[in-house]
Chain A
Amino acid sequence: MKQSSHGGSPARELTTWFQLRRWLKARWNLNLLLGVISLTTLAAVWELGKPLGIPLISNVPPPSEVIVAAQDLLTSEQYWQGWYLSLQRITIGFIIAQIIGIPLGLAMAINRMTFDTTFPVIEILRPIPPVAWIPISIVFWPTREMSVIFIVFLGAFWIVLLNTIGGASHIDPSYKRAALSLGSRPNDLFWKIILPATIPSIVTGMAVGMGISWEMVVASEMIAGDTGLGYLLWLSFQINAIGHVIVCMISIGIAGYCSSAIIRAAGEWATPWRRLF
């Protein structure tokens, strides 16, 4: 905080601080500024790690080398193909997970018979981490592509399934009762009450599922793939191009961030009434 030159009271200093903040907010974006400061600090510590001999940090190439590696990688066709293929796998696997997961979850929540028949199978399979499915997936599916997509699918599937079941089975019974009193037929309750009341849970499941999908696409490309960002990362490591590894990591981070942003936007579009909370 700036020391007041007028020898003012603490309250006065506080006011000056608020004025300073308001001034900053009006001209700059204070949040943005703080973000830039923290990122610059991170880059500086990282860059100076080697010359200053800071242990551990000096093991990884500094930002200046990463930028060189990035120029190298960003001009290669393999890198952009990696983006394309990883995104394609995410999209296909994720969408199939929604197409199967959401209706199955709704059916399980609504229909006791469906729940009782499917739940035991699900409870046995669900605790198995998707990564553990990779070997059997390679054996089961005719192509590597399909096995990677399958692993992505699994990553998103369980979480959206459980969220849908949870959301649809914890709807306040008053909603259904109110709808019946208002003249809804029992058969309309699904579209009028159950589905809209479950959408927020589905959206949450999708957001979490998207994160897991990225974990899975990278892991399965490393093990089973011969293309994609995850594969490129692993390949760079094996040829000791650590700069490339870091570029791949950052790329995956950006890709994951963008996918989550898309899901968030879709979620807000689908649940306009929740924007307020």
Chain B
Amino acid sequence: MATQGALAIRHAGKIYDPEGVHVVALDDVSVDIGAGEFCVIVGPSGCGKTTLLNAVAGFDQLTDGEIVMDEQLLASPGRKLLPGPDRMVVFQHGALFPWKTVLWNVACGPIAQNRMTPTEANEKARELLGRVGLAGAEKQYSGELSGGQKRRVEIVRALMNDPKILLLDEPFRALDALTKSVVQEYLLELYDYSRKTVFFITHDLEEAIFLADNVVVMTTRPGRVKKIVRVDMPRPRTHEVTTTDRFLQLKSELGAAIHEEALRAFEAGERELA
């Protein structure tokens, strides 16, 4: 079990203020993620999920609240947090560098941080790529890969940096259902292997339950925590769990909460249009 990577988000608030119009994106959001825990955030579009993730990654600053990792204050209103290899991100649309090969993409982090020599990094990269079934792809450019392969490479690239926490922003959104289920199993396999803390954002309820230890449901704007549900299904999990009674029970429990928020978000959108 991982001994570090516990993340605590305390009373997080984010107010966007373009041209004097207050938009409260996050309001008093507190989430505790234990070391090595897989936490999935679900919520309707515009609930501030990505804002929260960007704040942890250091791409964006909160206007209120604190981010604490392993008892250490990372960010607070007066304390700007920069991106770093301890908090690796897998992006919604993918961010493999298309002008570099798969191997280079995966190995570049530890080399840039001077944590490994190029030989060591390449060796480790090959090992991890093999683990996700991409042993033959290392010399290819990332543009040659399919969507599912790109996602696997990107997750491997993140893990190469030995982060304390892995931040995934709807990484499988653009994938078709079949590819998605395969990549999800690969992610779980890597998770079981590395036991990193994971902060995962999605729209997809089934994905959330399948992957998570804890599912956090967020409300529509302003984003608040509506409900936290513990997923007490044993690991390692395969897609067979999605047909178990426990899975369906969790799904209906969470589904009601999410549907309510989706409806509110929809109505708010209608009002804005009117």
Interface range, B side: 20 to 34
Can you list, as one digit per residue, whether each of A170-201 has a CB less than 8 Å from chain B (1) or not (0)? 00101101111111100000000100110100
**Is the Cβ of B99 less than 8 Å from the Cβ of A182?**
no
**Is the Cβ of B93 less than 8 Å from the Cβ of A174?**
yes
- Which of B94, B109, B141, B143 makes the CB contact (< 8 A) with A182? B109
Residues of B within 8 A of A183 (CB): 84-85, 109, 112-113, 161
Q: How far is the CA of A274 from the CA of B84 in the complex (A)?
A: 30
**Is the Cβ of A272 less than 8 Å from the Cβ of B141?**
yes
Q: When A181-B57, A181-B87, A183-B84 are in contact, do A175 and B97 touch as well, CB less than 8 Å?
A: yes
Q: Which of B53-68 contact A (CB under 8 A)?
A: 57-59
Residues of A within 8 A of B161 (CB): 182-183
- Which of B84, B95, B141 makes the CB contact (< 8 A) with A178? B95
**Is the Cβ of B144 less than 8 Å from the Cβ of A184?**
no
Q: How far is the CA of A174 from the CA of B57 in the complex (A)?
A: 12
Q: How far is the CB of B109 from chain A (nearest CB, A)?
A: 4
Can you list, as one digit per residue, whether each of B129-158 has a CB less than 8 Å from chain A (1) or not (0)? 000000000000111100000000000010
Q: When A272-B141, A276-B141 are in contact, do A177 and B95 touch as well, CB less than 8 Å?
A: yes
**Is the Cβ of A181 less than 8 Å from the Cβ of B141?**
no
**Is the Cβ of A276 less than 8 Å from the Cβ of B97?**
no
Q: When A178-B89, A181-B88, A182-B161 are in contact, do A199 and B113 touch as well, CB less than 8 Å?
A: no
Q: Which of A151-184 contact B (CB under 8 A)?
A: 172, 174-175, 177-184
Q: How far is the CA of A147 from the CA of B98 in the complex (A)?
A: 41
Residues of A within 8 A of B83 (CB): 177, 180-181
**Is the Cβ of A178 less than 8 Å from the Cβ of B144?**
no
Residues of B within 8 A of A274 (CB): 143
Q: How far is the CB of B17 from chain A (nearest CB, A)?
A: 20
Residues of A within 8 A of B113 (CB): 182-183
Q: How far is the CA of A197 from the CA of B96 in the complex (A)?
A: 12
Q: How far is the CB of B33 from chain A (nearest CB, A)?
A: 18
Smallest CB gap from B87: residue in A:
A181
Q: When A193-B97, A196-B97 are in contact, do A182 and B59 touch as well, CB less than 8 Å?
A: no
Smallest CB gap from B96: residue in A:
A178
- Which of A182, A199, A276 makes the CB contact (< 8 A) with B144? A276
Residues of B within 8 A of A178 (CB): 89, 91, 95, 97
Q: Among the interface residues A193, A199, A273, which one has the most CB atoms of the partner chain B within 10 A?
A: A273
**Is the Cβ of A273 less than 8 Å from the Cβ of B98?**
yes
Q: When A182-B109, A183-B113, A276-B141 are in contact, do A172 and B95 touch as well, CB less than 8 Å?
A: yes
Task: Decide yes or no whether B241 CB sits under 8 A from chain A.
Answer: no
- Which of B91, B108, B109 makes the CB contact (< 8 A) with A177? B91
Can you list, as one digit per residue, whether each of A259-271 has a CB less than 8 Å from chain B (1) or not (0)? 0000000000001
Residues of A within 8 A of B157 (CB): 182
Task: Decide yes or no whether B23 CB sits under 8 A from chain A.
Answer: no
Residues of A within 8 A of B141 (CB): 272-273, 276
**Is the Cβ of A177 less than 8 Å from the Cβ of B59?**
yes
Task: Decide yes or no whether B73 CB sits under 8 A from chain A.
Answer: no
Q: Which of B32-64 contact A (CB under 8 A)?
A: 57-59
Task: Decide yes or no whether B82 CB sits under 8 A from chain A.
Answer: yes
Q: How far is the CA of A231 from the CA of B141 in the complex (A)?
A: 47
Residues of B within 8 A of A197 (CB): 99
Q: When A182-B112, A183-B85 are in contact, do A277 and B143 touch as well, CB less than 8 Å?
A: yes
**Is the Cβ of A180 less than 8 Å from the Cβ of B82?**
yes
Q: How far is the CA of A183 from the CA of B94 in the complex (A)?
A: 18
Q: How far is the CB of B141 from chain A (nearest CB, A)?
A: 4
Smallest CB gap from B84: residue in A:
A181
Q: When A172-B93, A276-B141 are in contact, do A181 and B85 touch as well, CB less than 8 Å?
A: yes
Q: How far is the CA of A273 from the CA of B143 in the complex (A)?
A: 7
Known A181-B87, A182-B85; further 12 A-B contacts with Cβ < 8 A = A177-B95, A178-B91, A178-B95, A178-B97, A182-B113, A182-B157, A182-B161, A183-B161, A196-B99, A273-B141, A273-B143, A274-B143
- List 22 interface pairs A-B (beta carbons < 8 Å), by A numbering: A174-B92, A174-B93, A174-B95, A175-B97, A177-B89, A179-B97, A180-B82, A180-B84, A181-B83, A181-B87, A181-B88, A182-B108, A182-B109, A182-B157, A183-B84, A183-B113, A184-B112, A193-B97, A196-B97, A196-B99, A273-B143, A276-B144
